[in-house]
Amino acid sequence: MPHLPEGLLNRTSLLPGSTPDGSPARVLLKAASAQDLSRELSLAGVEKEVLPGVRIQLKPGHAYMLIITLGSGEFYSANENADYYNERAGKVVTFPAPIGQKTMVLGNGIAENHHTFTDMGAVYRNHKTQLTHKVPPSGAIVWDRFNERMHRGELIAELPISGWETELDMHERGIPLMWSQGSGCPSDFCGACGFEFTSRKPSRCIHELQEKLCIRPDGYQNCIYCPDPIFYDISYVGANPAAKIAFGLRKLAQSEETMSLIPKMAESDPGIVYHKMYCSGRKPAAIVLDKLMQEESLVSDDMVPGIEQELLPEPMLDKDFVGTCKKIDLNELLAALLELKIMLTPTQWWRIFNPETQGEPSGVSGFLGALPTVFGQAALGHEDAFLRDTSYLPTRSAPPHVLRQLEPFVSDLAVKPSVKVIIIKRATAHVCRPKPAAKDLYLAREYARYQLESLTAPGMPLAARWCALVNKAGI
Ligand SMILES: [Zn+2]
């Protein structure tokens, strides 16, 4: 890789899984010859007029994948990190709450700089691009262009088949592979106040720290302008949430390394950045987590029978619901549940997502026992990566037919934020719980992430009490 300029601010953006018309945003090009490649590209929606420009020396033993990269901020808005990439140089932006100059002319945009993907970029896994990572690139970027009509980028990644069997096999089976692009900018500018952030000037303004993507009273949504980007990385970052769980469990089954999938909790991290704070409806994950922990501390073991009486779904309905959910594409399911304000209980989630189990769970004590530990560690350690993960938030709205399938369950199963609990006092012996197995801990962690993501999603009432109750009762 050519030497990148010093002092860049590194940015990553999760790329879309599909285009607005629903077609996949990445296509494996089944190319054995240049002619095949032309045919495949035309099937993948790349217009005929660019085809003569595609000159790729096809290498034996390699697979070629067309990947759609980030779109212009003017057309697709900021990404989930609030990063806004202008399309072209010369865009004039106005700061609604300026600390200095009121307007600014942005530098090069993605249209001018998209070629840096092929000039300086390569394929990696999980953004392990730094020299200190000591990981060589896992593939090459052999072609790229900015698609003028669609206001977005496209590139072709060349992947050596010998290193990508698992992923290519998953792709063949229709499991979407998630990609993320990495870029570096000399500096960023807060869209609200114009504050310049560089690698040498690590302080940030309040908008970047706490109000990313917040919609101001004047209607402006806080974003961060990222002009003059250098694109140097297209990274595979995993599969979709459902497959991610399956993959994680398979890795656990193969390995005795039980703790490898549980990232180390930070000892102390006072400077937690509220990554997602939306003024309207969406609460920052850390605040939701605190609320959840507060509610959990109020639920004692004595209350469990009362909670069960109040919240346990009718067994046949519960079984019917889980059966229906299992037939739905898991990403569409997550979108529909969020829209209908149904949050899966721990056992429902376990039965739907645990890929190893058919039918009803035979015993989930380890998983449920692990759940409070996960929330506790995340809250105490302010674990940033845990709070940042947005993989359970659906990227698209649910198709109408899926909503129709699940609507009959809404009245019984939707979240009830103001639930009252009849407390039945009963003597409970203090039971020392065994340490949960790695698999249970992994699943509990995934469930905690799902629950937290659902609670921070726009439109979901803050139902921390409901969550605390169902978690405690293991419903
Ligand atoms: Zn600012």
Highest mean pLDDT among 163-167, 224-228, 433-437 belongs to 224-228
Instruction: Tell me the average pLDDT across 82-104.
Output: 95
pLDDT of res. 130: 72
CA 275 to ligand 1 centroid distance, Å: 14
pTM given for the model: 0.54
pLDDT at residue 400 tops 90: yes
pLDDT at residue 259 tops 80: no
More confidently predicted of 156 and 425: 156
CA 356 to ligand 1 centroid distance, Å: 48
More confidently predicted of 195 and 438: 195
Domain map (residue ranges) of the chain: 9-239, 246-473
pLDDT of res. 381: 61
Q: State which amino acid sits at residue 474.
A: G
Q: How are beta strands 9-14 and 177-185 bridged, if at all?
A: antiparallel
CA 54 to ligand 1 centroid distance, Å: 42
pLDDT at residue 256 tops 50: no
pLDDT of res. 387: 66
CA 294 to ligand 1 centroid distance, Å: 32
pLDDT at residue 249 tops 70: no
pLDDT of res. 47: 57
pLDDT of res. 379: 66
Lowest mean pLDDT among 273-282, 293-302, 305-314: 273-282
For the stretch 232-241, pLDDT in tens is 999 988 765 5
More confidently predicted of 237 and 266: 237
CA 99 to ligand 1 centroid distance, Å: 8
Write the DSSP symbol of residue 265.
P
Lowest mean pLDDT among 73-87, 320-334, 370-384: 370-384
More confidently predicted of 78 and 297: 78
More confidently predicted of 314 and 50: 314
Alpha-carbon distance 46 to 154, whole Å? 9
Highest mean pLDDT among 29-33, 138-142, 276-280, 349-353 belongs to 138-142
pLDDT at residue 126 tops 80: no
CA 194 to ligand 1 centroid distance, Å: 6
Write the DSSP symbol of residue 323.
H
Identify whether the C-beta of residue 329 lies closer than 8 Å to the C-beta of residue 240: no
pLDDT at residue 111 tops 70: yes
Identify whether the C-beta of residue 215 lies closer than 8 Å to the C-beta of residue 278: yes
- Banded model confidence at residue 42, pLDDT cuts 50, 70, 90: low
Chain-centroid distance of CA 299 in Å reads: 31
CA 11 to ligand 1 centroid distance, Å: 18
pLDDT of res. 289: 78
For the stretch 154-180, pLDDT in tens is 999 999 999 999 889 888 887 778 888
CA 153 to ligand 1 centroid distance, Å: 28
Instruction: Tell me the average pLDDT across 296-325.
Output: 84
CA 290 to ligand 1 centroid distance, Å: 26
CA 206 to ligand 1 centroid distance, Å: 6
Chain-centroid distance of CA 10 in Å reads: 18
CA 204 to ligand 1 centroid distance, Å: 8
pLDDT of res. 116: 96
CA 234 to ligand 1 centroid distance, Å: 29
pLDDT of res. 430: 47
CA 207 to ligand 1 centroid distance, Å: 4
pLDDT of res. 67: 92
Average pLDDT, the chain: 77
Instruction: Tell me the average pLDDT across 127-140.
Output: 78
pLDDT at residue 113 tops 70: yes
CA 103 to ligand 1 centroid distance, Å: 13
Instruction: Tell me the average pLDDT across 194-198.
Output: 93
Instruction: Report percent pLDDT > 90 for the chain.
Output: 25
Residues in contact with 33: Cβ distance below 8 Å, sequence separation at least 6, in sequence order: 58
Instruction: Tell me the average pLDDT across 133-147.
Output: 87
CA 203 to ligand 1 centroid distance, Å: 11
For 412-433, give the DSSP string. Answer: HHS--TT--------------P
Sign of CA dihedral 307, 328, 25, 396: negative
pLDDT of res. 141: 95
- Banded model confidence at residue 109, pLDDT cuts 50, 70, 90: very high
CA 365 to ligand 1 centroid distance, Å: 47
pLDDT at residue 129 tops 80: no
CA 83 to ligand 1 centroid distance, Å: 13
Alpha-carbon distance 414 to 321, whole Å? 12
φ/ψ of 372, rounded to 5, equals: -60, -35
Alpha-carbon distance 235 to 252, whole Å? 23
pLDDT of res. 406: 95
pLDDT of res. 377: 72
- Banded model confidence at residue 280, pLDDT cuts 50, 70, 90: very low
Instruction: Report percent pLDDT > 70 for the chain.
Output: 73
CA 189 to ligand 1 centroid distance, Å: 8
CA 93 to ligand 1 centroid distance, Å: 14
Identify whether the C-beta of residue 467 lies closer than 8 Å to the C-beta of residue 342: no
CA 191 to ligand 1 centroid distance, Å: 7
Instruction: Tell me the average pLDDT across 395-416.
Output: 88
Q: At 20, is the secondary structure helix, strand, or coil?
A: coil
pLDDT of res. 248: 60
